[in-house]
Amino acid sequence: MTVDGPSHPTDYLASSFLSRGRPNHPDAFVGRACRGCLVGLIVTYMPFAKCRAALQETLRLVSDLSFSVRLNLYTFFVLLLFLSTKAPAQESPFIFPEKAKADCTDAAASIEVAPAPSPGNHEKHPRLFWIIPTYSISNGKLPSLLSPHDKFRLFVKNATDPYTLGYTALMAGVAQASGDPPGYGQGAAGYGKRLGAGLADDASAGFFTTFLFPSLLHQDPRYFRQASGPFKNRLAHALIRPVVTRKDSGGHAFNWSGLLGSVAASSLSNAYYPAEDRGAGPTFTRVAWGVPFGALDHVIDEFGPDLERLFLRKK
C-alpha cells in the first residue's frame, strides 16, 4: 500500500513483497526482463569499477521478489528508459534576455488578474487510455481547494471505480495462481480471501490517506502534475511526492497524512492477513515498501498522459 493516496490500485499484494518466486513459475520471463532493464541502467550510469558488485546485489534482490513486484518494477524501468529518450525534446530552448524579461512581465500581469481558486471549480479527470481513473491527479495551475466533504467524495470515487474493483480481482487471481500468501490456501475459498483482503486494503488505504488524515492535518491528497518542463525535473517531482505533499493553505509540507494513513491501514490489515504476515515487523515492512511503489505510481501519474498522446497520436 502506498504512503499517499491510492491513485493507482497497485498496492494489494503487500504481504507478498518478501515471498520468493518459484523457478518454474510463468513469472520467470518477467524476472529476466526486469534484470535486463536493471543491468542496462547500472552499466550506463555507474562507474565500471563499482558496476560488478552493485549488479550482483541488485540481481540478488530482484530474484527475491514475487511476481507482482517484478511486474511493477518492469513497468517502471521500461517507462523510465522510454521517457528518458524524450528528455532532450522537452528541454527549454535558449531565450534572449530581452524576450525573457518581456515574458516575465506578461506572466506577472496574468497572475495579477487570475481568479482565485474556489471549492466549486472542479477539474475534469479523463481516464488514462480510457481505462485508468485520474481522480487524484490535478493538472490545473490554480487547482480548486478540497473540503473534507470533497476528500471523502474522492475516496469513495477511487474505492468504487470499476477499474479499482477489476484490478483488485485480477491481482487476487495472480496471487491465487502463485499461491501467495500461502496462508489463504487454494480453491474458491482461497480466492475469496485474497479478493476480500485486496478490497479491504484498497478501502482502508483510501479512507485513511485520502480522507481522514488529510482532513485532520489539512493536507491535499492529490498529485499535482507538472505536465511540462525538463524530464529530470518532472521525474524528481514525481519521486519526491510520497514524502512531500501540498497543504490546503498552499505550500508544501512533510506527508504526515500519507505516512500515518499507511501505518493505520497496514495495522488494520493484521485483522485479516494470515498469521505469518501479522505483527509489527510485517506491518512496518509493508509501510516501507509503500514509499518506492508510491513513487512508481506518481511517475505514471506524471508521464502517463505523455505516453497516451504518443501512442494515440494526440496533439
In this prediction, residue 122 carries a pLDDT of 64
**Which comes out higher in pLDDT, residue 33 or 152?**
152
List Cα–Cα distances, 166 to 2, 9, 160, 161, 198, in angstroms: 19, 10, 10, 9, 11
Task: Look at residue 252 and tell me if it is in a domain.
Answer: yes
Q: For the ranges 14-28, 45-59, 88-102, 143-157, which has the lowest average pLDDT?
A: 14-28
Task: Look at residue 283 and tell me if it is in a domain.
Answer: yes
For residue 287, give its domain range: 12-18+126-312
Question: What amino acid is encoded at 241 in this protein?
Answer: R
Please say if the pLDDT value at position 210 is more than 50: yes
How sure is the predictor about 34, in pLDDT bands with cuts at 50, 70 and 90? Answer: very low
Please say if the pLDDT value at position 114 is more than 80: no
Task: Look at residue 308 and tell me if it is in a domain.
Answer: yes
Task: Look at residue 243 and tell me if it is in a domain.
Answer: yes
Span 193-216, average pLDDT:
96
Its pTM surpasses 0.75: no
Tens digits of residue pLDDT in 76-87: 544 554 444 444
Please say if the pLDDT value at position 140 is more than 50: yes
Please say if the pLDDT value at position 294 is more than 50: yes
Cβ-Cβ contacts under 8 Å for 264 (sequence gap 6 or more): 204, 208, 212, 213
Task: Look at residue 83 and tell me if it is in a domain.
Answer: no
Q: What is the mean pLDDT of the chain?
A: 74
Task: Look at residue 1 and tell me if it is in a domain.
Answer: no
Residue 88, preceding bond cis, omega within 30 degrees?
A: no
Task: Look at residue 61 and tell me if it is in a domain.
Answer: no
Question: What amino acid is encoded at 240 in this protein?
Answer: I
181-207 as b/e: b if 16+ CB within 10 A: beebeeeeebbebbbebbbbbbbbbbb
In this prediction, residue 73 carries a pLDDT of 52
> Percentage of the chain surpassing pLDDT 70?
60
N- to C-terminal Cα separation, the chain: 35
C-alpha–C-alpha distance, residues 177 and 26, integer Å: 10
C-alpha–C-alpha distance, residues 52 and 11, integer Å: 32
Task: Look at residue 109 and tell me if it is in a domain.
Answer: no
Rounded to 10°, the helix 28-45/67-84 angle is 40
Please say if the pLDDT value at position 249 is more than 70: yes
- Reduce the secondary structure of the chain to three states and give it as a string: CCCCCCCCCCCHHHHHCCCCCCCCCCCHHHHHHHHHHHHHHHHHHCCHHHHHHHHHHHHHHHHCCCHHHHHHHHHHHHHHHHHHCCHHHHCCCCCCHHHHHHHHHHHHHHHHHCCCCCCCCCCCCCCECCCECCCCEECCCCCCCCCHHHHHHHHHHHHHCHHHHHHHHHHHHHHHHHCCCHHHCCHHHHHHHHHHHHHHHHHHHHHHHHHHHHHHHCEECCEECCCCCCHHHHHHHHHHCCCEEEECCCCEEECHHHHHHHHHHHHHHHHCCCHHHCCHHHHHHHHHHHHHHHHHHHHHHHHHHHHHHHHHCCC
Cβ-Cβ contacts under 8 Å for 283 (sequence gap 6 or more): 263, 266, 267, 269, 270
In this prediction, residue 68 carries a pLDDT of 52
